[in-house]
Amino acid sequence: MPDNNAVPPEETTSLEAAEAALDRLATKLATPPLATQIRRLLPKIEQALEAGATYAQVLETLRECGIEMPMTTFRSTLHRARLKRDREEGR
């Protein structure tokens, strides 16, 4: 007797693809904005720069960790993070 509850293979593939796509979406939405990430990493970024790392090296390190952005975005976000820190510290 045939199994009437069996899911056809093409539907399983579509279902699995949808699950994977929704997992990726949830992960993407759970990632903090770039500005938040840079503010959190600011002390370490500045430590690396003071030790002699270039902006390109710092950005490449961030990219290796999954934090992707163009150099112009990195530099402007870093500048804004420094301004915010300085305002909060009363500098």
**What does 28-83 look like in DSSP terms, one character per residue?**
HHHSPPHHHHHHHHHHHHHHHHHTT--HHHHHHHHHHTT----HHHHHHHHHHHHH
Count the domains in the chain: 1
Q: Residue 47 falls within a domain, yes or no?
A: yes
Q: Extract long-range pairs of 63-69: CB within 8 Å, 24+ residues apart.
A: 67/34, 67/37, 69/34
Q: Residue 1 falls within a domain, yes or no?
A: no
Q: Residue 82 falls within a domain, yes or no?
A: yes
Q: Residue 3 falls within a domain, yes or no?
A: no
Give the domain range for residue 38. 9-88
Q: Residue 4 falls within a domain, yes or no?
A: no
Q: Residue 75 falls within a domain, yes or no?
A: yes
The per-residue pLDDT for 80 is: 98
Whether this prediction's pTM lies above 0.75 is answered by: no
Residue of 50, 48, 51 lying closest to 60 (CA atoms): 48
Per-residue pLDDT tens over the stretch 6-61: 555 556 689 999 999 999 999 888 889 999 999 999 999 999 999 999 999 999 99
User: What band does 63 get if pLDDT is binned at 50, 70 and 90?
Assistant: very high
Using CA atoms of 51, 52, 55, 57 in order, give the dihedral in degrees to the nearest 10: -90
Q: Residue 2 falls within a domain, yes or no?
A: no
The per-residue pLDDT for 29 is: 86
